[in-house]
Each structure stands twice: as structure tokens, then as C-alpha cells.
Structure 1
Amino acid sequence: MKTSRRTFLQKTTQSSLTALSLGSLPAGAADALINQPDALAAAPRIKPDHVVRSLPENMVWGYFGADVPPVYRVRDGDVVEIQTVNPSGVSRTNPEEFYQKNNLPMDAHAQEVIAILKTVKPEPSGIRGHMLTGPVFIEGAQPGDTLEIRILDLTFPAGFGVNSVWPGGGGIPDAVTARETFVYRYDARRKVALLKEGVEIPLRPFMGVMALSPPPETGRVSSIPPAFFGGNLDIRHLTKGTTLYLPVSVPGGLFSTGDGHGAQGNGEVSGVAIETALNLTAKFIVHKGKTLTMPRAETPTHFIAVGLDKDLNKAMKNALTEAVTFIKDTLGYTFNEALSIASTGVDFEVSQVVDQTLGIHAMIPKAIFTKQKFSYWA
């Protein structure tokens, strides 16, 4: 008997929230932290089935495409650690200068960033975007399936992140008159990022980019604008213990990730978040014949529907349509009931306004559906 879409999504949910842990940074990262390394000794690391290192041969600079060869193959159900880097603020011509100028350690991770910038080439046609790790081929994933990405852990390989403002960028591009880069140093004990005395941003790491390949007929596309296959969604709720669902367009799915964020406000209004290196540990699960038209996400407490468009008003309309469709088809209400529920119980948030294609996401609380129980893995 085929599993309904409602059963498929309900099987992935429960009401307990997994606490964010920063206690599993790898050895060497403590050198860049403000507090002593003993602040890092907390939760044990999750042992993955595979590790995809952030080495030059595993990186793609700025694009997705069905013709991009996979750097790794995994099985349906495998747990995979994918390491990523953050080259923000680092010059290709003199990458060492950034670390020296900001009094940051030239550790093994910094050496990886430098090697990547000196070795990995941009896409020949001029497409530009993020430094990505992948793609990863998931055996069994075929067009028409849905890939479930369970975010089991997110760890920092370096104790800092970078935010920038620049003329022509962000949500008020004409108001910025000078470029400036800010280094945020992490205090792991208190789980905050420090800009300067009196400014502390709570750390809440997530991957800005998680994507499958677009269909072959689209060719190669930039990683900057998000789309139905995922990409630069910049949804700040996709932290440890949450789930992203993406539609599969090519055999193996071809999953890529990057653009790690230490923290981000809804909107990402300067143009970037606290851009940071992150190691993503995720479990990949293929749902055969379960087709999505847009990314969908889930947390222990919410379902998340996504709307995208170059026009923010249309992105809002698309998010509302996705939310109403989910409440109607998956949770079992009429269209009018679903629209009423969306109006009275659902929050619509601006994901980002800076990635060419803009994003709105709908936060659908599970708690308002008092007669339904939602199982979840976390």
C-alpha cells in the first residue's frame, strides 16, 4: 500500500525541541575562541558513515548543474558529515593577509581555505556564487522522489565569522557609502558572537545553502538565487534537529551545501549573515514517488512552507499558497478552513531580501492542531 503524503510528513515529526549545542568543535578550533577550551567539552560527536572533506577537489565555486560530477556517493539512509569553508573577506590574490590583519590563527582550517581559493576555479561562463562542497550522489534518488535531509549536527571548525556591508548591496543598497568587513569572534561557553564590547549575537548556526541539482534542461545556474530545488534559502530556522525536504530532479539528487551562518536575522539585510565555516552532519532519506513542487521544512514545533519570487509581494503570495495547500492536503482541512487557519495561526516571515529571488517562509505551529499527533525523529 502506498504511503500518503500526509503519512510521509507526519512520520517525521514530534514535539520535543533538541537543544543547540556548540560543544563539539573539532580540535584546533579552540585557539580562536575567547574562552578556554574546556567550554567546548559537552555533547559527544555523532559518528557519520562518511566524511566529505573541505578539500579543493570536493569544492564547486558558485553553481549547480546536472552535469557537475559528484565528489562522493552515499546510500539512502546514510549519515554524512560534509565540511564547508567560509572565504568571506579573504582575497584570492593574498589570502594570508585577512588572517594576519584580523589576528586570526593560521591553523589547518585556514590553510584549507587558502588552498581552495588558490586552486578551485570559478565557473568558466562567468556564473558566480558561493563556495560549495559537493555534489553528493545519493543512491536510489530519482526524479520525482523527495529527499529528506535530517540536520543532525552543525559544528564550527573555526572560532569566528564574518559580516560585510558594501555599496550596492543589502536591503538599502544606495545608503551604503563604503565597504566594511566585521569579524565576529565566538564565545562558545555563552554561545554568542562578539562584534565589539556591548554587542553579543546569540549563535544559532545553520546552512544558508542546501540544494539538489536543477533539471538537466536548465544547465548550470548560480547558487545565489534560491529555487524549487533549494539552494540559497537562508531560512534561519534550519538549525540542528530540523529537516529540509527537497524535490529530486536528477538521478542521485546531487546534494551540495555551503554558505554556513553563525547567526542571521530574518531578512539578511546587509546582504550576508555571520558567514562562517560549518560542518553539516545530515542523514539522507529518499522518499520514492513523493513529489514536491517547492522546498518544505520541519522543526520539532513547526512545519515550514516556502515562497520564492523576484517580487516580494509575489513571494508572499506563493508562501501563502504553499501553506494553505499543506494545511489542506496534508493535515486534512478544506481550502477555506486552511486559509482561515493560515490567517489566524501562521506567521509569515521574510527569509531574505538580498538574493535576487526573494524568500518568505510560513511558520505553521503544530500545537494549534490539538487533535493530531505528529511524530518526529529528533
Structure 2
Amino acid sequence: MKTSRRTFLHKTTQSGLALLSTGSLATEAVLHSKSTDTPLLHDFTAQAPLKPDHVVRSLPENMVWGYFGADVPPVYKVKDGDVVEIQTVNPSGVSRTNPEEFYTKNNLPLDQHAQEVIAIMKNVKPEPSGIRGHMLTGPVYIDGAQPGDSLEIRILDLTFPAGFGVNSVWPGGGGIPDEVKTRETFVYRYDAKRKTGSLKEGVDIPLKPFMGVMALSPPADMGRQSSIPPGFFGGNLDIKHLVKGTTLHLPVSVPGGLFTTGDGHGAQGNGEVSGVAIETAINLTVKFIVHKGKTLKQPRAETPTHFIAVGLDKDLNKAMKNALSEACAFIKDELGFTFNEALSIASTGVDFEVSQVVDQTLGVHAMIPKSIFTKKKFEYWS
């Protein structure tokens, strides 16, 4: 391994290893509620919950509806190295004109979380120019992040503040838009003990929560961008592997980075072929680490077992080529191989998966297993 890579890993693991050694993190997805009238998905480890340095609440004043931009004022400011809980909502199926109807129609409690969603739908305004997208929390300003840096986002925890999620199908949507004739919304109810979401009796989907959208602001000269298509700054990547204990790296384009998140998913298959996953509210706890002068062209991610390279394009074939180029560049530049060796390794040992085919800009990600590099030792915080 090149010295630069070893130094990079060492610097990014010191504080994370210390944090996890305290045993303070809850394992798996947990469903907690601020009220007592909602079933709870308990933590079965008897560990104390993680105590963040900051909590960004899912309140109307902390939300932005569907866009990123350098001119969007931050709702919170944190320091490099801080642990931050960011509460999000996912109002899939909830109408702006009568948000209460969704809960009563589906026999769901009008608890505190539901009241927060209702307040957000009634008070948060769409972007004036007509840009549309997800209901997001942020942006969060990270002190010290400057253009040319990269931001490491360690995903420490993902918890559910409500006991259900929603999936939908509709004409013109998803991967086979012409074959869908009617709109239908499905409520997946969560089973606390089994940690599954159920569409109906006999169909139980394992819950593997992750954030569909994690983004930094694009450069100022790009103006405001919809949260629907992902980009080099992150956004709607919909990579199902970005669960608790994984890391996302994004390039910083504006002072403070301006991190925004939302579009929580309880579970998703690669492709997200109906157009959406199990859309759900998630409280995301992350640790922000700024890497000065570590310039990235595209998002990168890491799990305990894999490095993840990302390819994006409106054409799926080009997205695949971009993912392959990114994978080869990573193997070459970060792991110390020639380009031809990297391409050979990608062909024989790397899996390429379709992240999603429904977000205008399509995604392919390369899963590069650490285990195939038997002479290298990869330190990791999780």
C-alpha cells in the first residue's frame, strides 16, 4: 500500500476506534419514539445509546424541500470531529393539503413524530423556482471544511422514530413505467422482535436502514440542484450498503461543506425498481471528519469488508463505465497497482451492482473486497 493511503487510514481511524471501544453504540436498527403510544423497536444489546455532541431536530425551520445549493443558509454549525444526530422525516404517502388523512386512513398513531411530519408538510415551502425533490434536514455547516477538501461521514447509528415505512407504485414510475396501470401505496409495518417490515402476512423484508440522500452542496456556480438526481457531491445515491458502521467520502465544494440528508430507507433492493424503497423516517448519527487537501472527483465509500467506487450517468451503460473507471483509479492510486493490473483485478474480483435506475441520473457501484488484497492490512474504525 502507498504511504499516502496508510497515513490517510491512520488519521481517519484513531478517534473512531476510541469511540467504539466504549461500547456505547446500539447495534442494528432501533426504533425509538419520543412518545409512549408507538411500539418500540428496542435495542437488544443493553448498551447505552450514543450521546451525540449535537442534535438537529426534524422541525420545519430545519428542513429544506428538495434541493441543495451554496446559497442555502445552514441551520446548524458543528466542528470537525463532532458527532451529530440529524433527525429526518420521510413523508411518502402524506399529502400537503391533508397530511392527517394518511395516518387515520392507515390506522397509524398521530403521535409526536406524526405531528412533526404534519407540521413540516404544512409549513415548509417548496423551492420557489419549481425544483422538486425530497424533504431534507439541513444543511449543517462543518467548521474547517473548504473547497478542495473531502468530508468523511462515519455512519454511527440509524434509528427509526416511527414503526412503519411506505412503498409505492405508480404509472410512469419505476423501472417498467409503461407496465404500471394504477397507483398504489403499501404500508410496511415493522416487527420489533424480528426486525422486519411486513407488506402483508407472509411477506417479511429484513430491515437494513440507510439514508438514500446524503449530500454536500454543489459549487456556487451550479446554483440550486434538485435532490432527485445524484451527483459528484453525493445526494440521492441510494446505495443500500451505506448502513450503520460504514463510511461515505464526499468532495467539499463550498465553505463548510453544507451537509444535507433525508430520504431514509428501511430496506431496498439494488435497483430500487418500483421507484422508491421502504421510505421511512430515520434519525442519523454521524461523525464528520475533514480531510484537508484530499480532493475527490466522485463519492467513495467504505465498509468493514469493501471499498465502494461510484459511477453516475443518465445512461446506465455510461454509469457502468464510470464505476469501472473509478474502481480502477482507486485500485491503482490508493492501493499501488498499475492500471492494467487494476483492470484485471476489477474483472476477476470486483462486483458491479446497479444502485438505482429511477433517479434520472442512474447509479452503478463497484464492490471492491478488501479480502483479495492478502498482503495489505486495512485499518477501519468499525
Fold conserved between structures, TM > 0.5: yes
What's the CA shift for 1:32?
A: 4.2
2:213 to 200, 209, 223: 209
Distance 2:59 2:330 in 1: 40
The percentage of aligned residue pairs carrying the same residue is 82
Could you tell me which residue of structure 2 aligns to residue 306 of structure 1? 310
**CA-atom RMSD in angstroms:** 1.9
Could you tell me which residue of structure 1 aligns to residue 133 of structure 2? 129
What's the CA shift for 1:68?
A: 0.2
Quick check: 1:228–1:247 contact (8 Å CA) kept in 2? yes
Distance 1:191 1:29 in 2: 20
2:335 partner SS: coil
Could you tell me which residue of structure 1 aligns to residue 320 of structure 2? 316
Could you tell me which residue of structure 1 aligns to residue 151 of structure 2? 147
2:32 to 25, 35, 58: 25
Quick check: 1:24–1:45 contact (8 Å CA) kept in 2? no
Quick check: 2:30–2:42 contact (8 Å CA) kept in 1? no
Equivalence map 1:133-282=2 (5 Å): 133-282=137-286
Quick check: 2:29–2:209 contact (8 Å CA) kept in 1? no
- Opposite residue 99 of structure 1, the aligned amino acid is Y
TM-score computed with the length of structure 1 as normaliser: 0.95
- Deviation per CA, 1:193-217, whole angstroms, max 9, x where unpaired? 0110110000000000000000000
- Deviation per CA, 1:211-262, whole angstroms, max 9, x where unpaired? 0000000000100000000000000000000000000000000000000000
Quick check: 1:40–1:188 contact (8 Å CA) kept in 2? no
Matched, 1:95 2:99: yes
What's the CA shift for 1:281?
A: 0.2
1:244 partner SS: strand
Quick check: 2:29–2:208 contact (8 Å CA) kept in 1? no
What's the CA shift for 1:169?
A: 0.2
Quick check: 2:26–2:43 contact (8 Å CA) kept in 1? no
Distance 1:322 1:112 in 2: 40
TM-score computed with the length of structure 2 as normaliser: 0.94
Could you tell me which residue of structure 2 aligns to residue 327 of structure 1? 331
Quick check: 2:31–2:161 contact (8 Å CA) kept in 1? no
Structure 2: 5+ residue stretches without partners: none
Q: How many residues align?
A: 372
Could you tell me which residue of structure 1 aligns to residue 76 of structure 2? 72
Distance 2:141 2:237 in 1: 21
Could you tell me which residue of structure 2 aligns to residue 8 of structure 1? 8
Quick check: 1:29–1:159 contact (8 Å CA) kept in 2? no
Quick check: 1:10–1:375 contact (8 Å CA) kept in 2? yes
2:360 partner SS: coil
What's the CA shift for 1:28?
A: 3.1
Distance 2:167 2:268 in 1: 10
Q: Residues 40 and 99 of structure 1: is their aligned pair in 2 closer, same or farther, counting only changes over 3 Å? A: farther
What's the CA shift for 1:27?
A: 4.2
Matched, 1:375 2:379: yes
Q: Residues 46 and 20 of structure 1: is their aligned pair in 2 closer, same or farther, counting only changes over 3 Å? A: closer
Quick check: 1:165–1:271 contact (8 Å CA) kept in 2? yes
Q: Residues 150 and 104 of structure 1: is their aligned pair in 2 closer, same or farther, counting only changes over 3 Å? A: same
